[in-house]
Structure 1
């Protein structure tokens, strides 16, 4: 019985080492970002995407965002998610390109980063784009300032009118 288990384990290892990678991936994606920065100190970026392959499959995926490599989480069959946060001050408006790599690409990226080389020349499996329209940091003028200014204006008008009536 143990011999069959060893044979099956060897076969599974052999089959997984010759598994095809995803060819011609068709990607559909949704993205979300924090848009109200009045009560948070970091902007969250979340990209959810679904991948359909014509042949082969996907195992572990990794995302590269602005030179940082993060793992991609699987959220279901052929559904994935990648997320990260940035400090409000350094969060940029506009499109952010996320490069997705399989294990071979991840190995090449890690090697390039370790050697101090550029990773832009490494071919990704596919890419996903997140659009961050910017975050609301509150009104230009605080309501307390407007109330104080308005009360001073009303007081000035009242004293001016009183002095005109008394003279």
Structure 2
């Protein structure tokens, strides 16, 4: 009976290994995801310790599994900046420039030289976004999420970020 249990455990473990994909692909859940990565952006050991201490790493593992694109500290910082300064960034997008818009583009790796071109793209895309009929009924977090996508897209397209 023990042999069957051991064989079953080994079989299950091998299935998990195959399902995990290539080793090293994706973010490191304990240092790049979860609460720890948000608090300790540049200190891997502190991020890992915080994640394990806070909730045994379940938040970090969940975010790495379900939304790995958000595990980058850079992306978390950009999302928080946009969420917390949505109104100011909206006004600055309408003007075509401003400190908050520049900061958001900079977080995505957009240099000061490339920012005017990226800001023009953001202004056009954001203008189309706010003119849709569904925009007014969205929550603040939904609007911030869309703004994040617009700014990220412009930074990738115009700044090589």
Same fold (TM over 0.5): no
- TM-score, normalised to structure 1, is 0.23
Larger Rg over CA atoms = 1
Higher RCO (CA < 8 A, seq sep 6+): 1
Identify, as 1 or 2, the structure richer in strand: 1
Q: What is the TM-score when the length of structure 2 is the normalising length?
A: 0.24
